[in-house]
Amino acid sequence: MTVNEDTALEEDISEDFIFYACEPSLPAFVRRASLAGYTSPELCLAVLRYCPLELQNVQEALKTPEICRVAVCGDGRALKFVPEALKTERLCRAAVRRDGRALEFVPEKLKTEQLCLAAVQNWGTALQFVPEALKDEMRAFVKRPNWLKSAVAYE
């Protein structure tokens, strides 16, 4: 993003915005959130590149596949705020590879053996979100004992 783009985005922010302390070192326009949510796709994309979990504050009408993809690729847990209709196999796979805990927000019909394995290998405690029919298989694939130990504790 160029300085001009930053300035243009900052000018789009109205007085209705409040300070959002996502992280003090971020650009000022990123640290502001609207009381009514973000108002343009460009602003959403800019903020989500820095703070993916801000997807929770994006208006439903602005949650496009691209906006959701940017958020999920930044932090898999942003899948929690993706509308069900936009949760595709590809998006869910990206989410659990980024953060295995995102398996909690994957629709049951998309929880395949491969997807669950990716989640458990990324974050052992994701085992608690694996369908019962696949749990034994997941235990067999987990290669690091401390992952399995932490995963079993959540059953």
pLDDT at 10 over 50: no
Mean pLDDT score, 63-90: 96
Can you tell me the distance from the alpha carbon of 27 to that of 141, in angstroms, rounded to the nearest whole number?
43
CA nearest to 72, candidates 40, 105, 42, 41: 105
Angle between the N-to-C axes of helices 132-141 and 145-152, in degrees from 0 to 180, rounded to the nearest 10: 160
Do residues 33 and 57 lie in contact, with contact meaning Cβ atoms separated by under 8 Å? yes
- The two three-digit tokens of residue 68, written as one number: 């959701």
Dump strand ranges (E) for 1-153. Answer: 17-19, 32-34
Q: What is the pLDDT of residues 90-113, one digit of tens each?
A: 999 999 999 999 999 999 999 999
Residue with token string 């805990």: 101
Q: What is the pLDDT of residues 29-67, one digit of tens each?
A: 555 544 345 678 888 888 888 889 989 988 899 999 999
Which range among 16-20, 22-26, 72-76, 129-133 shows the weakest confidence by mean pLDDT? 16-20
Q: Coil, strand or helix: which one is 21?
A: coil
Residue 139: CA atoms inside 13 Å, Cβ hemisphere, count? 13
Contacts of 36 (CB under 8 A, 6+ apart): 16, 59
Contacts of 4 (CB under 8 A, 6+ apart): none
pTM over 0.85: no
Which range among 47-51, 84-88, 133-137, 150-154 shows the weakest confidence by mean pLDDT? 150-154
pLDDT of residue 144: 54
Element (H, E) at 1: none
